[in-house]
Amino acid sequence: MSDPDIPTRAPARPVPYVIAGILIAVAIIMPLIVPIYASAEPALWGMPFFYWYQLLWVFIAAGLLGVAYLIMRKEDRRRRDAVRGTAGASGAPVPGGQTRDAHDPGTRRTRGSRPAEPREGDR
């Protein structure tokens, strides 16, 4: 269980959130401005502009949302690493009085305790 007094993330920087918000807003708002594409010309492979422009925005929006996701994931990792410390996997202390086992970064143990002995069925 997590101690409520120990932060899990460092303070956020506003710039990545603003950039991601702008990308998402562009992906939502541009297809809603119908006068931009309310015409039949230029046709693409016989398809009127009105239809292929909307279809094009499906792929553009997917790309913009993907970039926004990557920006947010990078910011979240930065915030978590700032609290944990960059040496969290090398046996350095992490918040809560625990250390990470240098040989198995996924395990946590309390300071001063020994790793668990393998059980009979694990040998």
pTM attached to this predicted model? 0.60
Element (H, E) at 57: helix 49-84
Report the percent of the chain where pLDDT is more than 70: 65
pLDDT at 45 over 80: yes
Q: Which of 57, 56, 50, 51 is nearest to 28 (CA)?
A: 57
Write down the pLDDT at residue 38: 82
Write down the pLDDT at residue 83: 82
Q: Give the CA dihedral 14, 16, 22, 23, nearest 10 degrees.
A: -170
Q: What is the DSSP letter of 113?
A: P
